[in-house]
Structures are given as structure tokens and as C-alpha cells.
Copies of this chain bind each other. A is one copy, B any other.
Amino acid sequence: MSSEVAPQNSSLPQPGPRRLPSAGPINPTAGASCRLRPVPYRAVSITGGLWQARQQVNREVAIPRGRDHLERAGNLPNLRIAAGIAVGETRGPVFMDSDLYKWLEAAAWEYGRDPSDDLLLTQREVTALIAAAQQPDGYLNSVIQGRRAGERYRDLPWSHELYCAGHLIQAAVARARCTGERALLEVGMRFADHLFETFGPDRRHDVDGHPVVEMALVELFRETGQRRYLELAKYFVDARGHGLMQGYGHEPTYFSDRVPVRAQRSVEGHAVRALYLAAGATDVAMELGDEDLLDALTSQFADMVATKAYLTGGLGSRWDLEAFGDPYELPSDRAYAETCAAIAGVQWAWRMLLATADPSYADFVERTLFNGFLAGISIGGSEYFYVNPLQVRPGAHADHDRSAAHGRRGWFECACCPPNVMRTLASLGSYLATTDDSGLQLHLYSPSSITATVGGAECRVSVETDYPWDGGIRVHVEQTPPAEWTLSLRVPVWAEDATLTVNGTEHSATAGEYADVRRAWASGDVVELALPMPVRWTAADERIDAARGCVAVERGPLVYAVEQVDQAEGVVIDEILVDLKQPAQAELRPDLLGGVVSVRLRGLAVEPTRSRWPYRRAHATALSSSEDMSSEDREIIAVPYFAWANRGVGPMRVWLPRL
């Protein structure tokens, strides 16, 4: 696929009858214990606004360039070597295959969203290569095959062999759902069958150092109906947490192997590992109706959100071991908040939402998508953040290729994040709506068209909105069965004083709940949800030391950042105390950063003491640190956090010291 070829509708002969993709990334079985069910993948179409623009850039820039990077970095060449159709040295880290699989999954979802010959051909080509590299018994890993003479599972805590298998299976399921082509699914099933024969309580009792295969196996079960995949996923969830991974250079904590999943009441260790495991365990709990496991996951999620989440939804506060920190250890400057962790957090939260119908999970999905996730890709779609700090200091020095002080980068030596962003953006529509027996629930707001089955018959609604810039949301009922059903609209937890009208008549709407309207709908009915979006000043829990004495700016679902580049001459963002008594004003700026609402604040410019030693006598009476300073009232401009570092990288703050 070349970036010069414009997307177009597919005219290639299809291998089977053309059909709409039945399911998105998560498709619980009919027997699963879940309160909500996703709508079919192609039943949701994002038709405008911020997310459509991002999906378009993902299709036109990110995915084509991704393939180029995968060629240059060695991911595709590695597979060619493994397939015996090229010779050379296998390159890159042990998880190289997974980057390609995530990219392939992105291509599949993108094809499912809007088919094109290019997208189909590239999937077929890469699938053929993968199939050729697979070994006769189903095993496949180009790095192990190319570099370790095929010696398998020698170093499972680090080798990522099952991790790669998991991403292969996820791509295979996506390909099957979006194209109807089963070639990759067969590769994935052969690998999964090999895993089933290799691992288990009576076989090799072991797990991969990096979870993801759990989610993948459950989805493969959902797609194929083969229960052994679910059993294997359950085995991997249960086997973990018993210290299998001792003596591998890190504590078992790092590998989520210190405490069994169903005994764990918090999140710890490597953030992405812990989150993928939790998401997979939630799938297992849903499919098995395992309430004990779901209870543990509910506690874990609650503890994470209460003590270990950034305001942006970012997760994982330590560079060291890419780990969750201790409770309330949430530094802004050294936040790791890996883009993949944001994605994993969304995957877990979405599954918890399906399982419980608790709107707080949807709040978290929204918060993360608009902030901690979306900051991970540049507006132009060609560059990525691996690490997403909430502060960059003046004089920051980038000493690592992942450091945000470099600005976003086209690719990374460890390139997990870019293709993870691609598959998430491509499949984003699947997070907008669900159904249950009573009706249709809308969780995320975007201009969109949604078809769903309610009470056995089809309904169609369209959503009109300028969200997230404006809180007005109009839902048009375009097609409906005659029987009553409930339309539920999520009222975000921040949306105080929300109002809801149905054809002009007021209904109740409470922040943090779903506003349910049950009636016999008629085509042409209009539901209007108005979510007031004043600028909000947000303070942190007293125990979050990193944000003490500070406020953040939020508006609607967006967290704001103050970048040095927006400020008038003489305004140094680290030398400002924000004045909360002066009004903060939102302003639509179509010219700025692809069109955003910026916020104007007021604050005092304070001149810090320039001293040889940065510690001084504290005064008993002074509550503000501005005591000794000359000060001047200044305007400060804030922009959405997701849009920062799109004009070069410089000093930035989310948490602003206050008067």
C-alpha cells in the first residue's frame, strides 16, 4: 500500500459473499455474563468531527507510513527470513512480530470501516508472508526462529512468544470479522492449538512474561466457538501470580506474578502487562460468569482509578520498570503514562463497562481517549509519543529515545505504541454504543450514525454534535420498531446541570448516570442532551504530592495544558501563579492546532528567587509562595492536552501553581 493511492471503495473480487463486519474487537458470546453488548462493528459510523478527522489521518498517513517503518525497522524482513524467502540477520527486539500484527489489525479494522482494494491487498500479502513463516506445528516467531535457532520458550518471562501469538490472534480475528477471509484466522488457530497442546496444568506449567494472549484467546473462542481457547485463557489467568517468574532479573511484581489475579486488590508492576492481563481476565470472567474474578477486577480497577491514575487517564507513573508507582505517586514531570497503557486502560475499562453497565467505566474510557491516548499521536498522524508526561520543564534534556523532551517521533526502537494507536483509531467506532434487552446506550459522543437491534428489530439513530468543543448533542431517531425501547445517553460525571429534552420536552439528566428515555419512538424524534462546558478548575487529592498547591484546567472531557509557545513574551509558564478568582474564558480557535477551543486564564507572573541554594526560611504566616515576589497580572493561554507538542516541544504544564 502506498500513501499516494487515495482510499477508494473496494472493487476487488471478494472471496466470499460481501457482508458487513459482524463484530468489532470485543464480541462476548450470547452466554457471556455481561450487562451490555457491543453493537455490530459496521453498525456505527463516525461521520464527522474530531474523531473522523483522526480516523482519516490514521488511514491516509499513519497506516501507510507504518508499513514503511515496519519494512525499514526489520519487522517484515524478519518474517521473510523466517519464511525462507529472504536471507539476512533477524533484527530488533524479541517482540518485533507483534508490531506488525498490530499494524495488520489496524489495516483490517480500517478496511472494515471503509473498504479499499489497497487495504485488502496489503492484508492478503502480509497474511501470506505470516502463513509462510509459520512452522508446521503452528509455532511462529520470526525472532526466535531467526536468532535462537527455533529454541522455543527458553526464556518466557522475556521472550514475548505468547505475547506475539496474542497479537497475531487479535489481527486474525479482526481480519476474519472485517474481510470474511479466514487465512490468518487459520494461522492463528494453528498457533493457538499448538499453545493449547504445550501449556496447561498437566503440560508445561508456565506463562508469558507479557500478557495479551489471554484477551486474544478469549476473542478467538468468541470467533470460532472452540472452547479450548477459553480454557487456555483461563489457565493463563489462573497460573499467574504464583511467583513462576523468580530470578529473571526483576521481582515477580514486574510480571504481574506476585499475587494471583483473583486475590489482587490493586494494580502493580509493569503497567501495560498488568492492564492487558486485567482486560483478559475480565473477558474470562464474562465468558465464565466468574463473579469472584470480576469482584477482584472491580476492586483493582477502583483502586487504580482512585490512587494510580493521572488526570489524563494516563497510567503508570515510573520510567523505572515502566511501572505503576505506589498509591498517589503521580509525578507530572516523570510520568511515564505510556500510550500503550492508555490503550490498555481503555480496553480494560470497556470490558468492565460491558460486564457491569457502570457508567464510571465509560467516563474513564472517554477521559483516556481524549487525553492520555490522543496525545500519543501528532495531529498530522506521522509522529508518536511513547511517554506522555504532564509537565516538561524549561531546560529539559532528552536522554532517551522515548523522552517527550525530544518531541514525538516517527517510530521507536521499541515500537509497540504506534501500531497500537493505529488499531485503536481505526476501531474507535466500536466504543460508541451498546445495546441491552431494553434498548440502546450511547457512551461516547461524536457525529455518527448508529444502527442497532432493539427488541429484535432494527433501529437507527444519528448523532449531531460539535463535541468535545460544545456540549450540545442531538440524537435523531431515523428508524425504529414500533415497540417501546429505552434510549440511554451517558451524562458524563463532570456534566453538572446537564439537561435533556425529547422533542422539546424536558427529561431528567444526572451527571455520572445514564439518562434513560423509554418510549415508543417514532422516526423523526429528536433527543437533545445539553452538557454545560464551563472551564473547570480541578484540584488533586492531598496525597498526590506532585500536584499540591496546583490546579488543572478542564473543559468538557478535555484536560488542558499550558505550553510556553502560546504565551506572550515575558510570560514564563513556570513562574506563574494562576488566579482562580478571575474568569477563565473558552474560545473557539478554528485556526489553531486543527481547530480547538483554547482557554484564557489570568495569573500572577512571579519572579522566583535566584539564589545559590534553592531552599530558604519559610514564613509562618505566608500561605502562598509568592510572599516575597513582585508580581504582575498576566494572561495565560491553555490548549487541549492532546494537542500539545504539535508546534515543536517546549515547556508545558498541566498542573498550574495557584495563588
Contacts and interface: CB of A to CB of B under 8 A. Distances in A.
A99 interface: no
Contacts of A190: none
Contacts of A398: 251
Nearest to A253: B399
Interface of A: 250-251, 253-254, 268-269, 302, 305-307, 309, 311, 318-321, 323, 325-329, 331-334, 360, 391, 393-400, 405, 493, 536-546, 548-552, 574-575, 580-581, 606, 608-609, 611-621, 623-625, 655, 657-659
Contact of A307 (B323, B405, B614, B619): B614
A396 B332 CA distance: 19
Contacts of A253: 397, 399
B613 A306 contact: yes
Contacts of A620: 537, 580-581
A574 B397 contact: no
A632 to B, nearest CB: 15
A548 B615 contact: no
A320 B550 CA distance: 26
A606 to B, nearest CB: 7
Contact of A550 (B548, B552, B614, B655): B548
A329 B393 contact: yes
A539 B393 contact: no
A333 B545 contact: yes
Contacts of A616: 538-539, 541
A311 B611 contact: no
Contacts of A251: 398-400
23 contacts: A253-B397, A254-B399, A268-B397, A302-B612, A305-B612, A309-B613, A325-B334, A326-B395, A327-B394, A329-B333, A332-B545, A333-B545, A334-B334, A537-B618, A539-B617, A540-B614, A542-B574, A542-B608, A543-B575, A545-B655, A548-B549, A548-B625, A552-B615
A321 B399 contact: yes
Contacts of A545: 332-333, 391, 546, 550, 655
A159 to B, nearest CB: 20
Contact of A318 (B334, B539, B546): B334
Contact of A326 (B306, B393, B609): B393
Contacts of A611: 306, 541
